[in-house]
Structure 1
Amino acid sequence: MQGLSGDFTTMPLKDVVQYLGNRRLSGKLLVQRAGVFKDLTLSEGSVVSASSNQPREYLGQFLINMGHLTEDQLSRAFEAQRETDYRLGKILVMKAIVPEATVLSMLSLKFREMLLDAFQWPEGEFQFEIVDIANPLDGLDVRVDLLDIHREGEFRETAWQAMRSAFPTGQARLTVDEKKLAEPRQPGSMDERLVQLIKDGLTIDELALALHATDFYLYQRLYALYRQDAVKVRESTTPPPTEKPAETPQVIGSESSVDEVLQVARVFLEGQNHRDAEVLARRAHEMAPSAETAELLRQTEQALLESLRRQLMEPPQVPSLLVPQAQVKTMQLAAPERYLLSRIDGKRDVAAIVRVSPLHELEALKYFQEFVAHGFVKLTPR
């Protein structure tokens, strides 16, 4: 056997994982869909290394969510990482910020969650290639058996059905009855933070960002509190805030063909209008995904990212709010917008906020650009 590839319609990912685990294979497994990539290294049927382009699946996010690391500590660790070739886990151990046993435990959790999250994808592609596997990276030896992940995935199918029946949408706001909480909350614990954020009126999606949590662990904890009758979905006649669709440049109409949209996107890109170029490239890719549209979208995203970095991060600039916090709470904002605004303290610069956030850098910088344009935030060079 030289390798294995296909899509989830012909072979679901959970079946791929079971197949590779049963045969105790070693190699590289790539899982992807719609711009999301997960790259896993396997050794004799176990995951020994994994990376993802999803910020919420970074090691630092798991450590923050579980209370082992603060955003400030993560930011300092990133600064130290620039001076070495080591990965974040090794830096945290070397600097005595997080014990090695905790880092190993969180790496194990990360490996599991990366695959289990992809088990929920309705479509996607996979590619497995047999290659020789070197020693564990940075001396942090973590192994997670694929068959254990497969068994956990079967359990979660039933768990998700129950959790979604109680919390059908991430835009729901909740109520909490503290008298019905089974145990006293420890200061600084996830439950303490969770209860306070619910009382602050955050939606479930906003809770996930504020806690740096994966969807499953957040919904699992909310469901446990729901079973205690301590947490319920708040009944409200006010529709929740929704993501604002990107505005399409006026030169393109709804009847335009993919070729026309691509042509205008290229014109905008050549003219250094990166924002509109990215909007149109994304629209073309959504209309008719292809290698051509994917490549143009990649080019426009990279060009826009570099432009926003120069505008918002070079030199370092510190954001401050121009509207009262009380007013922010009443504004119709998407979950990522509310999260980013909550992180503005007048001390950290844009780069520091973005670096430790559970959002893609480009997504976060686009929001910051909008904040400045709409007069919510001002930037001051450090």
Structure 2
Amino acid sequence: MLPVGRSHARIARMEGLAGDLGTMPVADLLLYLGNRGLTGTLVCERGTIKKSIIVKNGEVVNAASNDPREYLGQFLINFGHISEDQLTKAFHTQAETKVFLGKVLVMVGLVTEETLKAVLTIKVRETTLSLCRWKDGAFRFARGVLPPNQEGVDVAVPLVDIHREAEFRETVWEALLQVFPTSTLALQVDEAKAPTGLAPNSLDGQLFELMREGHSIEEICLRLHATDFHLYQRLYALYRQGIIAPTEPLLKVDSVEIASDTVGEEVSVVEILQHARAFLAAKSFADAEALAARAVEMKTTPEAVAILKEAEAGLLDQLRRELLATPHIPRMSSPDLKLKQLDLTPQEKYLMSRIDGTRDIRAIIRVSPVRELDALKYFKRFIESGYVSLG
């Protein structure tokens, strides 16, 4: 990390406060904006992920992200204030009234204004703090530019406090990752030490049930609609008490692989992008998206990101027309199909677990912590593989 003085000097030289997060650590950038008491909108982008931090007089008053795990509804579900079904109904009310989600939840009595403000404050903190783990990407700060307050609730979190928390978490993450180096690990529960009498709907009640079922950390995070830090922190506390221990996931009984297209390492990024542009011109968006994503993975360049965004937009529109234009209720093709027997990603397992024969695809996706495009791709794959049928 650069010394603060050098960081400030480097920012001062940047025309319009814009630069590369690879050379300007996010934490230093936040501290600069906080110490100067600046007002404006900080936009950070890495690949196709975009986050906007709204700053007023050195305090974060709102934070937006296109990562669905950082949506307000996800935080409300994780803290037990609402259920997935209640969030679905709130979205219907929002569509009818054109009122922002937070106001809808208060209006229908699902949460109080005090609860909404508390959760929004956490959302703002966590969305901003998650940026501090980015080691690359681009940023720009539009001084004096403030969008309207969409939720109608005033929150304010000093950037100086966020910087202090970011430094603390950097040390904590080192300890967490020493015990849980990968999110693919499962957790073994020592039943002799496990707490008893947990309410099934409580956070710990759900957590222990998921651990006993052999789910990985990433799967648990999705099922609980949790942030990485808070889940890892809870798991670490249980580990220190000797209640759980990390273990490799259980071997699948009958592994069924869902095919996916890959591009060999020997092909250059330039060649991949040439093919991606050709597929875009032919409106073959799925092929273009797969190639562009591979190019971004190999080397993130503005050209690769631009092509990926265009391909994703085309593919999203195509899949929406195919799967969402008419309400479709997905159903498991076989009642005997077991998720553990399928070689699925954590996101695919989450979506499969939400198929109950009553909710349509749109309703499932709206409350999920999975990107809409990714979720639609998974559903299309489920259908083509014969795992799911549409009613």
Query: Is the TM value for this pair above 0.5?
Result: yes
Corresponding residue of 1:247: 261
In the aligned structure 1, how far is the partner of 2:147 from the partner of 2:222? 35
Instruction: Check the 8 A contact 2:252/2:342 in 1, yes or no.
Output: no
Instruction: Check the 8 A contact 1:182/1:228 in 2, yes or no.
Output: no
Q: How far apart are 1:3 and its partner, in Å?
A: 4.4
Corresponding residue of 2:388: 377
Instruction: Check the 8 A contact 1:81/1:87 in 2, yes or no.
Output: yes
1:168-203 alpha-carbon deviations (Å, 9 max, x no partner) = 110001111244245742341100000001111100
Which among 49, 70, 84 is matched to residue 57 of structure 1? Answer: 70
Structure 1's unaligned 5+ residue stretches are: none
Instruction: Check the 8 A contact 2:333/2:389 in 1, yes or no.
Output: yes
Matched, 1:130 2:130: no
1:339-376 alpha-carbon deviations (Å, 9 max, x no partner) = 11100001100111011100100001111111111111
RMSD: 2.5
In the aligned structure 1, how far is the partner of 2:184 from the partner of 2:320? 30
Matched, 1:226 2:239: yes
Worse-matched range after superposition: 335-344 or 73-82: 73-82
Which among 182, 197, 214 is matched to residue 210 of structure 2? Answer: 197
In the aligned structure 2, how far is the partner of 1:222 from the partner of 1:199? 14
Matched, 1:140 2:149: no
Corresponding residue of 2:132: 119
Q: Secondary structure at the match of 1:82?
A: helix
Which among 275, 279, 282 is matched to residue 271 of structure 1? Answer: 282
Change (3 A) 1:223 1:239: farther
In the aligned structure 2, how far is the partner of 1:117 from the partner of 1:245? 32
Worse-matched range after superposition: 279-288 or 61-70: 279-288
In the aligned structure 1, how far is the partner of 2:115 from the partner of 2:191? 30
Change (3 A) 1:268 1:201: same
Corresponding residue of 1:26: 39
In the aligned structure 2, how far is the partner of 1:25 from the partner of 1:373? 52
Matched, 1:330 2:341: yes
1:246-305 alpha-carbon deviations (Å, 9 max, x no partner) = 414xxx875444444333323333333221121122233344443333222112111111
Matched, 1:339 2:350: yes
In the aligned structure 2, how far is the partner of 1:150 from the partner of 1:219? 20
Letter in 2 for 1:371: F
Instruction: Check the 8 A contact 2:288/2:311 in 1, yes or no.
Output: yes
Instruction: Check the 8 A contact 2:256/2:342 in 1, yes or no.
Output: no
Q: Secondary structure at the match of 1:180?
A: coil
Q: Secondary structure at the match of 1:317?
A: coil
Corresponding residue of 1:302: 313
* TM-score for both structures, normalised by structure 2: 0.89
Change (3 A) 1:321 1:42: same
Letter in 1 for 2:43: L
Q: How far apart are 1:245 and its partner, in Å?
A: 8.1
* TM-score for both structures, normalised by structure 1: 0.91
Letter in 2 for 1:164: L
Worse-matched range after superposition: 234-243 or 151-160: 234-243
Corresponding residue of 1:312: 323
Worse-matched range after superposition: 347-356 or 2-11: 2-11
Q: How far apart are 1:71 and its partner, in Å?
A: 0.6
Q: How does 1:141-180 map to 2 (within 5 A)?
A: 141-180=154-193
Change (3 A) 1:47 1:196: same
Identity %: 47
Q: How far apart are 1:104 and its partner, in Å?
A: 0.7
Change (3 A) 1:183 1:27: farther
Instruction: Check the 8 A contact 1:242/1:334 in 2, yes or no.
Output: no
